[in-house]
Amino acid sequence: MKILLLFLAPLFIYAKVHYAKVEPYESIVLKSSVNALVVEVDLDSEGSMVDSKRIIHLDDTLDEVNLELLEESVILLHEMLDINNDIASSLKNTVKRKEEYYQRINKLMTASKTQKDNAFSSFTSAKTQYLGIREKIVNLKKQILDMHSRIEQLKDTIRKKSLVVTNKYIYKIMVRKGDYVVPGASLVHVMDKTRAKLVVFLEADELKGLERKSVYLNGNRTQYKVDKVWKVADEKFISSYRAEIYIPAPKKMFSKLMKVEIRE
């Protein structure tokens, strides 16, 4: 029994060895959200890091024209609103005077019924005209709000037609000038190379006390920890759980193979 325990001891001392490639922290395929013709593609950026650079430009000529027309329409609507506000202010004073005149003449015993009817008719006519202008003002305000909404939607569409990439590595551009894209069409594959990750598949017993364990890379103990663990077993490695270790980006090339051990 003592001999058997001596042979089994190394199994508990040495952690399981994993091998993982140094991968970019994030890899994303950016897709189109609009229908449009591709008018410009920066193919020279493929295979390089870019910062705040337009990689793909989709046709927005008609959108720009419509935007200019909408903005001019808003200016005209505001001018109409100002004019109608002035008219409303004038009519309000007229209504007040005609109402005062009607109230005064309606109390006079010497005023004829015709005079009183004419005064009342003049008052109600002015009030109706005033209310009509007030209704027009409300409609103009609603038109302005609707116009601003259309302008913002159009600006959003224009922004979506210029694919600007910030601090990302352009791995592959999937469209060319002259292509026509639809919503959901793949445009460019980008990677976040500002940091890196190692993906390993750990068995259930390796997850026990994981927070106390250290990460060893190529036999050397590091300050890194296992940053993320999937709680469901992997579809391919059915008895293992995917785990990710985040490390600084390599100075030269990614895809370097590293030996990974998780142990105390």
pLDDT one-digit tens code per residue, 188-199: 999 998 899 999
Structural domain range at position 137:
61-159
Query: Given a cut of 70, is residue 8 above it in pLDDT?
Result: no
Residue 105 confidence (pLDDT): 87
Q: What is the mean pLDDT of residues 228-247?
A: 89
Domain presence at residue 4: no
Q: Examine the domain organization and report whether 144 and 184 are in the same domain.
A: no
* Strands 168-173 and 49-50, bridge-based pairing: antiparallel
Instruction: Give CA–CA dist 88/70, Å, rounded.
Output: 26
Residue 12 confidence (pLDDT): 42
Cα 65 to chain center, whole Å? 24
Pair 65, 222: CB distance under 8 Å: no
Residue 14 confidence (pLDDT): 54
Q: What is the mean pLDDT of the chain?
A: 90
Pair 264, 213: CB distance under 8 Å: yes
Q: Examine the domain organization and report whether 204 and 121 are in the same domain.
A: no
Percentage of residues of the chain with pLDDT beyond 90? 71
Of 130, 159, 188, the one marking the end of a domain is 159
Q: Examine the domain organization and report whether 55 and 65 are in the same domain.
A: no
Q: Helix count (H) and strand count (E) of the chain?
A: 3, 13
pTM, entire model: 0.74
* Domain count along the chain: 2
Integer angstrom CA distances of residue 192 from 101, 242, 255: 78, 20, 14
Residue 4 confidence (pLDDT): 42
Residue 7 confidence (pLDDT): 43
Query: Given a cut of 60, is residue 180 above it in pLDDT?
Result: yes
Q: Examine the domain organization and report whether 29 and 87 are in the same domain.
A: no
**What is the radius of gyration, based on Cα positions, of the chain?**
37
Per-residue pLDDT band for 62 (boundaries 50, 70, 90) equals: very high
Query: Given a cut of 80, is residue 6 above it in pLDDT?
Result: no
Q: What is the mean pLDDT of residues 146-165?
A: 96
Cα 261 to chain center, whole Å? 39
Of 100, 131, 159, the one marking the end of a domain is 159
Residue 15 confidence (pLDDT): 64
Q: What is the mean pLDDT of residues 172-182?
A: 96
Domain presence at residue 75: yes
Domain presence at residue 229: yes
User: Of 240, 215, 217, 234, which is closest to residue 225 (Cα–Cα)?
Assistant: 215
Q: What is the mean pLDDT of residues 240-257?
A: 88
Of 159, 179, 196, the one marking the end of a domain is 159
